[in-house]
């Protein structure tokens, strides 16, 4: 659980909105790390806002995600988190965040996470 410890350290900083950090820890961190190499389950998400979709060389993305093109604007992230399978049918992430306020807080947190 080396990443768990790292994430704990990371989230201890005062610079992040408590909500988004907590939501990320609760809902995303079981699959995603922020910094460093991608995990086996999922791509690392540090600096993902405005990054090209499916751009990390250390993760084997699905064809569905690779063929999306473009970058992760906050609006696209919102759509993906709202209903990942509607946004990119057949992609490998089976997880949704139904509460719009939660999505907003998570995306705000991702914007300041590198």
- The alpha carbon of 76 is separated from its chain's Cα centroid by a whole number of angstroms, namely 12
Q: Which of 22, 27, 39, 71 binds ligand HEC (CB under 6 A)?
A: 27
Rule CB under 6 A: choose which of 25, 47, 64, 112 binds ligand HEC.
64
Asked if 31 touches ligand HEC (CB under 6 A), the answer is yes
Does the footprint of ligand HEC cover residue 91 (CB under 6 A)? yes
- Confirm or reject binding of residue 108 to ligand HEC (CB under 6 A): no
Asked if 16 interacts with ligand HEC (CB under 6 A), we say no
HEC readout, the chain: CHHHHHHHHHHCCCCCCHHHHHHHHHHHCCCCCCCCCCCCCCCCCCCCCCCECCCCCCCCCCHHHHCCCCECCHHHHHHHHHCHHHHCCCCCCCCCCCCHHHHHHHHHHHHCCC
Quick one: tokens of 102? Answer: 């939660």
Q: Does 17 sit near ligand HEC (CB under 6 A)?
A: no
* Count of residues near ligand HEC by CB under 6 A: 27
Residues that bind ligand HEC (CB under 6 A): 27-28, 30-32, 41-43, 45, 48, 53-56, 61-62, 64-65, 72, 77, 81, 91-93, 95, 97, 106
């Amino acid at each position: 659980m080396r990443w768990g410890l790292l994430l704990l350290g990371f989230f201890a900083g005062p610079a992040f909105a408590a909500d988004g950090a907590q939501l990320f820890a609760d809902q995303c961190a079981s699959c995603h790390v922020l910094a460093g190499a991608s995990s086996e389950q999922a791509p690392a998400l540090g600096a993902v806002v405005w990054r090209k979709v499916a751009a990390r060389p250390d993760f084997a993305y699905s064809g569905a995600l690779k063929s999306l093109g473009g970058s992760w604007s906050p609006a696209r992230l919102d759509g993906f988190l709202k209903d990942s399978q509607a946004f990119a049918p057949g992609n490998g992430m089976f997880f949704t965040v139904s509460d719009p306020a939660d999505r907003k807080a998570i995306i705000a947190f991702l914007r300041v996470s590198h």
